[in-house]
Structure 1
Amino acid sequence: MKRTPIVIKVGGALLDDQAAMSRLLTSIQTVLATRPVILVHGGGPLVETLMASLGLSSSKIDGLRVTPDEHMPYICGALAGSANKTLCAAALQAGCTPVGLSLLDGNMVTCEPLDARFGAVGVPSAADPALLKSVLAQGLLPVVSSIGSSPEGRLLNINADQAATVIAELVQGELLLLSNVTGVLDGDKQLISTLDAAGIETYADQGVITDGMLVKVNAALLAATTLGRPVTIASWNAAIPEILNHATGTQVFPSPLPSGDTL
Structure 2
Amino acid sequence: MKYLVIKCGGSVLENLPRSFYEDIVKMHESGEWTPVIVHGGGPLITSLLKSLNVETSFVNGLRITNHQVLDVVEMVLSGSVNKEVVRNLMEVGGKAFGVSGIDGGLLTAMPTPDAKTLGFVGEVVSVNNTIIEGIVNQGFIPVISPIGIDGYGQRYNINGDVAASAIAKALGANLCFISDIPGILIEKDGTKKKLDKVSKAIIEEMIQNQTIYGGMIPKVKAAIDGLVHNIPEVGIINGFEKNSLLDYVNGKKIGTKIVLEEEIA
Q: Which TM-score band (shorter chain)?
A: 0.7 to 0.9
Contact 2:183/2:237 (<8 A) preserved: yes
Which residue of 1 is the match for residue 196 of structure 2?
A: 193
Distance across 2 between alignment mates of 1:134 and 1:88: 17
The one-letter code matched in structure 1 to 2:253 is A
Contact 2:165/2:222 (<8 A) preserved: no
Which residue of 2 is the match for residue 253 of structure 1?
A: 259
Q: 1:120 to 1:92 in 2, by over 3 A?
A: same
Distance across 2 between alignment mates of 1:63 and 1:247: 28
Superposed, which structure 2 residues align to 1:1-263 within 5 Å? 3-17=1-15, 20-32=16-28, 33-34=30-31, 35-61=33-59, 64-114=62-112, 115-186=115-186, 187=188, 188-201=191-204, 209-212=211-214, 215=217, 216-238=219-241, 239=243, 240-244=245-249, 245-258=251-264, 261=265
**Deviation by residue 1:205-233 (Cα, 9 ceiling, x = unmatched):** 787x3334852434422332233432101
Deviation at 1:169, TM superposition (A): 1.5
Other structure's SS at 1:190 match: strand
- 150-159 vs 43-52, which deviates more? 150-159
**Deviation by residue 1:39-61 (Cα, 9 ceiling, x = unmatched):** 00010000000000001013444
Distance across 1 between alignment mates of 2:59 and 2:215: 20
**Deviation by residue 1:124-181 (Cα, 9 ceiling, x = unmatched):** 1223211111111222111101111111111110011011011112211110011101
- 137-146 vs 59-68, which deviates more? 59-68
How high is the TM-score relative to the length of structure 1? 0.88
Q: 1:11 to 1:190 in 2, by over 3 A?
A: same
Distance across 2 between alignment mates of 1:7 and 1:63: 21
Distance across 2 between alignment mates of 1:175 and 1:219: 10
Structure 1, unaligned stretches of length 5 or more? none
Q: May I ask how many residue pairs the two structures share in their alignment?
A: 254
Deviation at 1:88, TM superposition (A): 0.9
**Deviation by residue 1:76-108 (Cα, 9 ceiling, x = unmatched):** 111100011111110111111110111122222
Distance across 2 between alignment mates of 1:112 and 1:251: 30
Distance across 2 between alignment mates of 1:199 and 1:120: 31
How high is the TM-score relative to the length of structure 2? 0.87
Other structure's SS at 1:189 match: strand
Distance across 1 between alignment mates of 2:226 and 2:169: 9
Distance across 1 between alignment mates of 2:2 and 2:222: 22
Q: 1:214 to 1:83 in 2, by over 3 A?
A: closer
Q: Supply the RMSD in Å over aligned alpha carbons.
A: 2.2
**The structure with more strand, counted as a fraction of residues:** 2
Q: 1:52 to 1:23 in 2, by over 3 A?
A: same
Q: 1:61 to 1:105 in 2, by over 3 A?
A: same
Structure 2, unaligned stretches of length 5 or more? none
Q: Sequence identity, in percent?
A: 28
